[in-house]
């Protein structure tokens, strides 16, 4: 079993929809949680960073961490065609914060 599980999709939604992307993990030591967005033929770019539990909001994006369930989510409100990309979750533990464990990525398509 992988340390981080992520549904590969693809997830296809109409423009304006609320999108929910999720990852589950098995290592309770993870404290740092990140979401990266990767456009086709580009490198991953950091979208959201969260430490420990709780919510974090940045514009149309909300990152949520539930450590009791070992479950993290990224919500995108009012989705746009420009949000079409692959979204990768990543996480690490305090004693090895440099060692990011990535999910395999969820491909999102927002239809105009």
**Dist CA 107 CA 10 (whole Å):** 5
51 binds another protein (CB under 8 A): yes
61 binds another protein (CB under 8 A): no
Binding to another protein in span 1-30, by CB under 8 A: 4, 6, 8
Contact 92, 26 (CB under 8 A): no
Question: Where along the sequence are the contacts to another protein (CB under 8 A)?
Answer: 4, 6, 8, 32, 34, 36, 41-46, 49, 51, 88, 90, 92, 94, 97-100, 102-105
């Amino acid at each position: 079993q992988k340390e981080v599980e992520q549904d590969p999709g693809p997830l296809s939604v109409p423009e304006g929809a609320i999108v929910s992307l999720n990852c589950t993990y098995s290592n309770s030591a993870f404290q740092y949680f990140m979401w990266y967005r990767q456009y086709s033929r580009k490198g991953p770019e950091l979208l959201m960073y969260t430490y420990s539990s709780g919510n974090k909001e940045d514009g149309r994006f909300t990152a949520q961490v539930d450590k009791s369930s070992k479950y993290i989510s990224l919500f995108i409100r009012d989705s746009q065609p420009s949000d079409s990309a692959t979204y990768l979750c990543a996480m690490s533990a305090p004693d090895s914060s440099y060692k990011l464990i990535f999910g395999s990525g969820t491909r999102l398509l927002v239809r105009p």
